[in-house]
Amino acid sequence: MSTGKVLLHVSQLKLGMFVSELDRPWLGTPFLFQGFRIQKLEEIERLKTVCDSVYVDIEKSVKIAPTRAGKPASNRRAYKLAASFEEEIHSANEIRESTRVTVDQLFDDVAHGRMIDLVSVKRLMHDTVDGVLRNPDAHVCLTQLKQRDAYTAQHSINVCVLSLALARHMGLSRNEMETLGVAALLHDIGKIKTPLDVLNKPDKLTPDEFAIMQQHPLTGRQLLEHHYALPYQIADVAFSHHERISGKGYPRGLKSNEISLFSKMVAIVDVYDAISSDRCYHDGISPTEALTKMYSWRLTDFDGELLEQFIQCVGIYPVGTLVELTSGEVGIVISVNPDFRLKPKVNVVLDSHKRPVYPHRVVDLAQHQLTAPDATYAIRQVLAPDAYGIDIKAELTPFQKAKAKQRVS
């Protein structure tokens, strides 16, 4: 051990201390990365449940106030699941389809200079927040069902849902969630005025073309705040979601403390969905790879604490990810376990010989670890969304049909 590290009993831990090592392997603990600074009291309580002592790096430790992502810990809400994934997935699909219709109409109205139907947007956001509060996993799962030729509307919906899931995870109020949801849904509205030959160019943009692209945050703000008279909080997200904490973002080059909480949140979600989606100029990467890349950018691009909150929210293996298990079986992640991030709940669709499984079998890897701790039954690797010819949306249909049948009967 280096002289900068000291061994402390977990009862001695304080906010701001940098935990560099545990008294047991990191794998299987609820902690995401090997080495982290304690940002909240809940982390100390969680350490007490898995460790007796830890090594603290004194040089990397700091004194901090008990706050979390810009919001006092005492004001945070602890939301409980009101529906299982299986119960919520049908409703989530209906809400997403309604959102798609509303967004398509909204974008068409903006493109043709018409007023937008804000009543429909508000009603839609009420239903979406209701759904995410009941079970965020069911709604987040559908953000992984992506089509290259429907990117703009699809991206706006995904950013909205993922932002709401993050807000729920952080314990923001319902009113805050509804405002954030509208802001996230409309964050790229300025791109509707961007020439299509620039927006969809498959090659690298020239400096002049990039300058045109960089105008969309200002255009978005002008549309939302001045033309449609929406609140500043909503317009600011359109204006600031490309700002970066290092000051190297655009259009104003704002630094961390100059960027609003909502803009920081949407910036993270915007990049996550963009780099994990297929576009005309690049193929999307897996959600897990996207999170890994973004974590490497946390010191220059994103609010580090918010990014860690987002990773905790969606999990190492985000809902909707296609994975292969150590057994050789293939399945879709349908639920994230916050206490065992490497052990989500998986809907198995192929057996170890890569043959279809009927009916599907849901495996809770965390429960398997608790009942058989010495058995190796875990995720071996993340697969491409269409690996083995799997249609993730079709594989989720049995859940949707089962729930629809329950409602009819």
> CA–CA separation, 234 vs 160, rounded Å?
12
pLDDT confidence of residue 402: 46
Q: Which residues pair with 255 in a beta bridge?
A: 246
Give Cα separations from 11 to 41, 47, 407 (angstroms): 12, 10, 50
Can you give the pTM of this predicted structure?
A: 0.78
Quick check: 86 and 403 in contact, CB under 8 A? yes
The strand order across the sheet containing 18-22 reads 5-9, 53-57, 18-22, 36-37
pLDDT confidence of residue 34: 64
pLDDT confidence of residue 406: 46
The pairs formed by 40-49 with CB atoms below 8 angstroms and a separation of 24 or more are 40/15, 40/66, 40/68, 40/73, 41/15, 41/66, 41/73, 44/10, 44/13, 44/14, 44/15, 46/339, 47/10, 47/13, 47/19, 47/22, 48/10, 48/11
Q: Residue 76: name the closest of 85, 67, 88 by CA.
A: 67
Quick check: 85 and 137 in contact, CB under 8 A? yes
Query: According to DSSP H, which parts of 200-303 are helical?
Result: 207-213, 216-221, 232-240, 261-275, 287-296
pLDDT confidence of residue 238: 97
Q: Which residues of the chain have pLDDT under 70?
A: 1-3, 26-34, 63-75, 147-150, 280-282, 369-376, 397-409
Token pair in block for residue 384: 């491409």
The secondary structure element, H or E, covering residue 22 is strand 18-22
List all residues 6 or more positions away from 212 whose beta carbon is below 8 Å from its beta carbon.
194, 195, 198
The answer regarding whether domain 85-314 maps to CATH 1.10.3210.10 reads: yes
Sequence ranges of the domains in the chain: 5-68, 85-314, 322-397
